[in-house]
Amino acid sequence: MCDEYIEAAEHGYRFLKEKMWDTDNGAFYWEVDATGNEKLKPRKHLYGQSFALYAISEYFLATGRQDVLDFAIRFFGLLEEKSHDKMYGGYIEFFNEDRTPVPAGESSYMGAPADSLTKVWWVEAEAVVSALYMHRFSGDPQYLDIFQQTYDYIEKQLVDFEHGE
């Protein structure tokens, strides 16, 4: 039975890498058709990127494949480089396909305003979990530092202790 699960996981991993990964600009498309041949929603959203990283992480833990770990490390590095908001903290959550900012007035696929300053705690929280996943399977302490910085940002900037959420 385990071989059957690994085979299904391999199929999912291949679909992510071969059909959903943007080889020109990096990161995963938000949505493709069932064949993976048509991009239905090509913009990039941090929320979706985080879940892709979870899937890749679990696949690595199940298989121990070094190439999967290497891909996850490169992918997380890309998220840090392109999505981390070096000026204000946290992560910029939504980009065009080519990683440029979305025009003012448009909404993200999650419904929030798509500007570089709007940040939603639960999307940022997925970045925190992604950093923990990276530490879990790589053992690299830099991911704990990223976790702490992002957690501190969420606590100081996004949590409304008076009214909740």
Could you report the per-residue pLDDT of 26-69, keeping only the tens digit for each? 999 999 999 999 999 999 999 999 999 999 999 999 999 999 99
Give the global pTM.
0.89
**Domain boundaries, position 82:** 2-158
Specify if 58 maps to a domain.
yes
Instruction: For residue 24, name the pLDDT band (cuts at 50, 70, 90).
Output: very high
Specify if 59 maps to a domain.
yes
- CATH number of residue 81's parent domain: 1.50.10.10
Specify if 163 maps to a domain.
no
Could you report the per-residue pLDDT of 102-151, keeping only the tens digit for each? 887 888 888 777 666 678 888 888 888 999 999 998 999 999 999 999 99
Torsion of CA 43, 103, 101, 57, to 10 degrees: -30
Number of domains in the chain: 1
- 123 φ/ψ sector (left φ>0, alpha ψ -120 to 50, else beta): alpha
**Residue 93, pLDDT score:** 87
Specify if 165 maps to a domain.
no
Specify if 43 maps to a domain.
yes
Specify if 133 maps to a domain.
yes
Specify if 25 maps to a domain.
yes
